Amino acid sequence: MKKIEKLSLIVASLGVCLLLIACGNSKQDSSSSSQASSSQASSASSSSASSSSSQTSSANTSSSSSVAAPSDLDGTYKASHEGDDLTLTLSGNKGSLTKIERDGEQEIEQVEVDPNNQTMIIGDDVKRYYVNGNQLTIEDRDQELDDDDTVVYTKQ
């Protein structure tokens, strides 16, 4: 009976190793990998090897998030922020942000979109963006909790 338990533990350990290797390749964060591996290590049975391969394939499919392609962002977006009127025009992975201040002064900045990282470079600033329907939310990557640098644009 002891040999069966040792064999089951060896098979479970092998499954955990395979799962960790697969999660490392799919760029999973360490908390997801450790949760999956600890749940695998706790089950010391021969079925753990087959379940680890099925969990690996499900982990690979769940890691791909829906990222808006640059063409999905194409268009004109408008917003107001701190009294300024903002117009963001995007085409492909490039565009421009026109800012009309309260006093009528106009400022135009170039925009580059990186859909893989969901970031935009506006002028010299790197921002992250989120798309929700016809709304495009842009915020500072290193925004503090008390900062109000989040701007929500509406597609026109």
pLDDT tens-digit readout, 28-80 = 444 444 444 444 444 434 444 444 444 443 334 333 334 555 558 899 999 99
Distance CA 61, CA 39 (A): 19
Correct CATH for 70-155 of 3.20.20.210, 2.40.128.50, 3.40.50.620, 3.30.565.10: 2.40.128.50
Q: Sketch the domain layout of the chain as residue ranges.
A: 2-62, 70-155
Distance CA 55, CA 110 (A): 44
Which residues, including other chains, have CB under 8 Å from residue 143's CB and lie 6 or more apart?
149, 150
Enter the tokens of residue 122.
């506006």
pLDDT tens-digit readout, 117-149 = 999 999 999 999 999 999 999 998 776 665 677
- Residue at token pair 């069966």: 4
Taking the model in full, what pTM does it have? Answer: 0.54
